[in-house]
Amino acid sequence: MKLHGLVAATHTPFHPDGSLAPEVVPIQAAHLAGQGIRSVFITGSTGEGHSLTRDERLAIFRAWAEAGPAHDLTVVAHAGTNCLEDAKVFAAAAADLDLAAVAALAPSYYKPGSIDSLVDCCAEVAGAAPDLPFYYYDIPVLTGVRFPMQDFLTAASKRIPNLAGIKFTNDDLDNYAECLAIGGFDIPWGIDEKLLPALQAGAKGAVGSSYNFAAPLYQKLIAAFEAGDLETAERLQQESIELIDTLAAVGYLGAAKALMGWQGVPLGPARLPVGNPTPAQLDALREKLDSPVLQP
């Protein structure tokens, strides 16, 4: 399995009161499939995985295990959490549900202090689902765990038989290129605002939150890059940056979930400690977002 092309890092749907709304997952799946998305990455940062109880995360796994295949979507389950025993439960559940792969970020309260310790943590999670491809989710801006990922690949490949690669949400493009140069691993890029530089470095796939609601923009960007039309690709990348900055100005996650609601996918609010835009901010935001690619 390769996470090539655009992979949507999906939101977790809630009711207006903040309770879980797994019945919305089939609507999400249909929306994404209609936008040309073929793979999803569930319960990660965009999916507020750390704000879900164990039962809630498993409920989302089950919902996607049904909705994903029904819409020809490959489903990657993020299992990472500060409690490795919970992470192992999530990984095993992903295998039992026949999901396509499992991923995990590093524990971030008690942090691994070395590459070897990080590999030990990943080996525990990957070993709970030995028949599924395993991706390490490198996102140092949130975990505070930052090691050269080429060193991780070298060490982990000796310890984790099902290691598939890295979800690389790390703005170190030089390190990214070094990882790609090793060969033999699938390393999807994870920063939407820098997709074009990643493509230039050799990226074949990308996992991102804005692919939920702006996939056509990025599909055009990729097509322009592949056609050698860098001027158009750069213009589209700038549109992406401006879009993300506009949402971030009022609270990115809550604004993105509201935008999805305007596209017909009712995701509800973000959970505390993440904030949500006020009604007035949302009204102003909707007036700004007049791009055709953002319309339902």
Average pLDDT score, the chain: 96
Contact 30, 296 (CB under 8 A): no
pLDDT over 70 percentage in the chain: 98
| Amino acid 206: pLDDT | 98
pLDDT in tens, 161-179: 999 999 999 999 999 999 9
Q: How many beta carbons lie within 10 A of that of residue 158, not counting itself?
A: 9
Confidence of residue 293 (pLDDT cuts 50, 70, 90): very low
Q: How many CA atoms lie within 13 A of 104 on its CB side?
A: 34
pLDDT over 90 percentage in the chain: 96
Average pLDDT rounded to a whole number, residues 242-270: 97
pLDDT in tens, 210-222: 999 999 999 999 9
pLDDT in tens, 27-81: 999 999 999 999 999 999 999 999 999 999 999 999 999 999 999 999 999 999 9
Q: Is the CATH code 3.20.20.70 the one for domain 5-228?
A: yes
Contact 165, 135 (CB under 8 A): yes
Q: In the predicted model, is pLDDT for residue 267 greater than 70?
A: yes
Q: In the predicted model, is pLDDT for residue 295 greater than 60?
A: no
- Cα–Cα distance between 21 and 221 in angstroms, integer? 33
Q: In what order do the strands lie in the sheet with 39-42?
A: 163-168, 134-138, 101-105, 74-78, 39-42, 5-9, 205-208
Show which residues are catalytic. Answer: 137, 167
Q: In the predicted model, is pLDDT for residue 200 greater than 70?
A: yes
Q: Where are the domains of the chain?
A: 5-228
| Amino acid 195: pLDDT | 98
Average pLDDT rounded to a whole number, residues 131-142: 98
Query: Residues with Cβ < 8 Å from 79, sequence gap 6 or more?
Result: 43, 87, 88, 90, 91, 94, 102, 103, 104, 125, 129
Q: In the predicted model, is pLDDT for residue 291 greater than 60?
A: no
Query: What is the enclosing helix (H) or strand (E) of 179?
Result: helix 173-182
Confidence of residue 254 (pLDDT cuts 50, 70, 90): very high
pLDDT in tens, 2-25: 999 999 999 999 999 999 999 999
Higher per-residue confidence, 147 vs 291: 147
Confidence of residue 121 (pLDDT cuts 50, 70, 90): very high
Q: How many CA atoms lie within 13 A of 296 on its CB side?
A: 11
Confidence of residue 289 (pLDDT cuts 50, 70, 90): confident
Query: What is the enclosing helix (H) or strand (E) of 101?
Result: strand 101-105
Q: What is the pTM of this model?
A: 0.95
| Amino acid 1: pLDDT | 80
Q: In the predicted model, is pLDDT for residue 296 greater than 50?
A: no
